Amino acid sequence: MVQQYAKPPTWRQTFSLTFRLLTLPAFVTLDLVRHLVCGRKSPGLLKYSGLSAMRYLNKAPYEGLKWLAGTTSANYAAWAKARGLPAVVDGPLIDDASIYWLGPKRTDKVVLYVPGGGFWAGVNGTALSFWNHVRVELDKQGVHAGYAVLGYGLYPEASFPTQLRQLAVAFDHLMASGVEPSNIHLVGDSAGSNLILQFLSQLLHPIDGIGPVQTINGPLGGVYLMSPWLLFESQSKSFLDPTSKDVFDAAEILAWGKQYASQVPDSRKPYVEAAAAGPNWFSGLGLIVKHVLISSGSEERFLDDAVSFGDTLRNNGGANVQLEIQEGAVHNEPFLSFITTDTPSDVGTLTPVIIQWVKEQLLE
């Protein structure tokens, strides 16, 4: 059985994390003062402080951050309770996969969110609030669907192809619940986007024993990839940019990618590194999904890879690919508006685009 628990870090990892937590206020304050003195264009003091804190904490050992982040099940339960929403869970399913529902469970149309987190972190409340915002806004417009979150095994307790199998199991479960494949829309961010691409690769190049076990007749619903993690050792200009304003350093991403890729045989690398799979790997994609939305921020390290991959899919995949670049934005920028509130006054320029795109998929 795959465990999703947050194992306590070692004393060395605890010390490193504790040091960063204790020095965090001083670091953020000094960084903010430096930012103001230099007269740089600011996204807002609160947002800049939050980004500064994320950059600083992300340098701690991932084991400590994983423990601090908590598990998907615990975070979901706390998030739902705080908002007076029912905690509805399908599972654990085969291979310990679970499906967590945001709001009422519906099986006519489903938006299945596959969360990111470097394959080692559980889902956070900010991401849940964002997708619940999408649900609420479209409900107001009379466009209804069930919104669900995939709970999958985390590194190091789980590695490839466990997470791929868990997504396939969840897809099978939704179909067994009566949802037509064309009414299942897959959305994800970062490592979650990577996992969605693993699933699409599985449909195009099946690995025995993974699934789905049920026959999929016709294309799936839409696929949305926010800030997708496409290469574990990218050499792109945006990834290596020493002046990047993103929330991660290249070294951190390289370390997380290396530990996940170390469990993947060379013959399976195209499944986990979509941008390195070659131009023909996704040929025929248009037969299994009609519409793909890819988004990135102009300030994030994954930008160049996202743009290049979007062009590859558009030219070779056969699907309708829409690429959106949010100016001045970092990794998973749309989530940042929901760090302190579920009802932000400013959601940025990309969130309305996402909501409109999801609406179009649900109405098609």
pTM of the model: 0.93
pLDDT of residue 227: 98
Q: Does residue 139 sit in the same domain as residue 282?
A: yes
How many Cβ atoms from other residues are within 10 Å of residue 167's Cβ? 27
Share of the chain above pLDDT 70, in %: 96
R_g of the chain computed on alpha carbons: 20
pLDDT of residue 5: 52
Q: Does residue 83 sit in the same domain as residue 40?
A: no
- Do residues 295 and 350 touch, judged by C-beta distance below 8 A? yes
Q: Does residue 64 sit in the same domain as residue 77?
A: no
Question: Mean pLDDT throughout 110-122?
Answer: 95
Q: Does residue 108 sit in the same domain as residue 181?
A: yes
Q: Which residue has the higher pLDDT, 289 or 218?
A: 289
| Helical residues (DSSP H) of 83-214, grouped into ranges | 125-140, 162-176, 191-204
pLDDT of residue 186: 98
Q: Does residue 178 sit in the same domain as residue 225?
A: yes
Q: Which of 348, 289, 295, 300 is nearest to 322 (CA)?
A: 295
What is the extent of the structural domain holding 37?
1-69
**Residue 106 confidence (pLDDT) above 60:** yes
pLDDT of residue 2: 45
Which amino acid is located at 301 in the chain? R
Provide the CATH number for the domain around residue 262: 3.40.50.1820
Q: Does residue 262 sit in the same domain as residue 130?
A: yes
Of 31-35, 75-79, 337-341, 344-348, which range is least confident?
A: 31-35
Assess whether the previous peptide bond of 104 is cis (omega < 30° from 0).
no
pLDDT of residue 52: 80
pLDDT category, 275, cuts 50, 70, 90? very high
Q: Does residue 283 sit in the same domain as residue 345?
A: yes
Query: 184-189 and 146-151 as β-strands: parallel, antiparallel, unpaired?
Result: unpaired
Choose one of 19, 37, 69: the last residue of a domain.
69
User: For all residues of the chain together, what is the average pLDDT?
Assistant: 91
pLDDT category, 42, cuts 50, 70, 90? low
Question: Mean pLDDT throughout 154-166?
Answer: 93
pLDDT of residue 66: 83
Question: Mean pLDDT throughout 30-46?
Answer: 70
Calpha distance 171→190 (Å, rounded): 20
pLDDT category, 289, cuts 50, 70, 90? very high
Between helix 350-363 and helix 125-140 the angle, nearest 10°, is 60
* DSSP helix/strand/coil, 17: helix
pLDDT category, 32, cuts 50, 70, 90? confident
Q: Does residue 10 sit in the same domain as residue 110?
A: no
**Residue 41 confidence (pLDDT) above 70:** no
**Residue 4 confidence (pLDDT) above 60:** no
Q: Does residue 123 sit in the same domain as residue 251?
A: yes
Q: Does residue 153 sit in the same domain as residue 30?
A: no
Which amino acid is located at 48 in the chain? Y
Query: What are 237-265's pLDDT values in tens digits?
Result: 999 999 888 999 898 899 999 999 998 99
Split into its structural domains, the chain has a count of 2
pLDDT of residue 3: 45
Q: Does residue 46 sit in the same domain as residue 108?
A: no
Q: Does residue 156 sit in the same domain as residue 61?
A: no
pLDDT of residue 7: 64
Query: What are 297-355's pLDDT values in tens digits?
Result: 999 999 999 999 999 999 988 899 999 999 999 999 999 999 889 999 999 999 999 99
Choose one of 69, 98, 124: the last residue of a domain.
69
Question: Mean pLDDT throughout 183-203?
Answer: 97
Choose one of 69, 98, 127: the last residue of a domain.
69
